[in-house]
Structure 1
Amino acid sequence: MFRSKSSRETMRQKAKRTEKERLERIKNKEKNRKRPNTVAFRMSDEEKRLFEDRVTMSGLLKQDFIIQSLLFSDVQFRGSNIAIKRIEERLDAIEMNIKSVLKKEELDSVLMEELATIIELTQRKSL
């Protein structure tokens, strides 16, 4: 059975509207998430097996295990010219921010955390 042109147009408009509504629902859902950002990386089969074993032994969810591993474990600093240059650039930006903050007497907590991380890394291995 063939549909009239107006009927097809109405169906297209409805499909467009429902797709738009679906995307809007997804967007709103992302806004309300506690952790809206995604981080992805690749592993070899052996690395994945070891990772899965550690997650199982920890009793944590994979997400929580990864976050704790990344944020609360020791990191070895391997100073290369590129890494040192990036740190110097970031320290320059932090210095400018601190100078402007001294005028306002207010310091960004994210900036302080970044500065603490840089100091911790550089104290482990001198540049």
Structure 2
Amino acid sequence: MSAKNLDRHNRWRNKTVAFRVSPEEDEQIETAVRLSGLTKQDYITRRLMCREVVVQGNPRVYKALRNEFAAVLAELQRIEAGGGVDDELLDTIRLIAAIMDGMKED
């Protein structure tokens, strides 16, 4: 086994956990992972273990935030033109707002 299979406590990560999600759920998970700056494995493990997900600002996170803001803007423009608001958009806006709130300087 490679060193990549060791966690930070030097334990082997050799068990596979798999589950099915809908395409919409997958997109929500992918968005949260991109905005967290973590790997998908680390993000899902922390969430499942009820551990806090702390976003560390780095170029990848800032790029993900920029792209998500652009997507939200496009959706808001669609809504302004007469479309409806879906729950996934509201969840994404809440996630971005929480991240931005955590980035405020004290």
Taking structure 2 as the reference length, the TM-score comes to: 0.51
2:87 to 105, 109, 112: 109
Give the partner amino acid of 1:79.
G
Q: CA RMSD in A?
A: 3.7
Equivalents in 2 of 1:88, 1:120: separation in Å?
15
1:70 to 32, 43, 47: 47
Residues 44 and 77 of structure 1: is their aligned pair in 2 closer, same or farther, counting only changes over 3 Å? closer
Equivalents in 1 of 2:97, 2:11: separation in Å?
32
Give the partner amino acid of 1:119.
A
Equivalents in 1 of 2:8, 2:60: separation in Å?
30
Question: Highest Rg: 1 or 2?
Answer: 1
Q: Which residue of 1 aligns with 2:66?
A: 88
User: Once the 2 structures are TM-superposed, how far is the Cα of residue 70 of structure 1 from its aligned partner?
Assistant: 1.6
Give the partner amino acid of 1:107.
V
User: Once the 2 structures are TM-superposed, how far is the Cα of residue 120 of structure 1 from its aligned partner?
Assistant: 0.2
Please tell me whether residue 119 in structure 1 is matched to residue 82 in structure 2.
Answer: no
**Greater per-residue helix proportion:** 1
Taking structure 1 as the reference length, the TM-score comes to: 0.44
Which 5+ residue runs of structure 1 have no aligned equivalent?
1-41, 50-62
User: Once the 2 structures are TM-superposed, how far is the Cα of residue 47 of structure 1 from its aligned partner?
Assistant: 6.9
Q: Which residue of 2 aligns with 1:44?
A: 7
Equivalents in 2 of 1:99, 1:43: separation in Å?
46
Conserved? CA contact 1:77–1:122, under 8 Å: no
Residues 98 and 43 of structure 1: is their aligned pair in 2 closer, same or farther, counting only changes over 3 Å? farther
SS in 1 for 2:54: coil
- Per-residue deviation, residues 82-120 of structure 1 (Å, max 9, x unmatched): 210111111011111111112225111111101101110
Question: What is the aligned length?
Answer: 76
Residues 48 and 81 of structure 1: is their aligned pair in 2 closer, same or farther, counting only changes over 3 Å? same
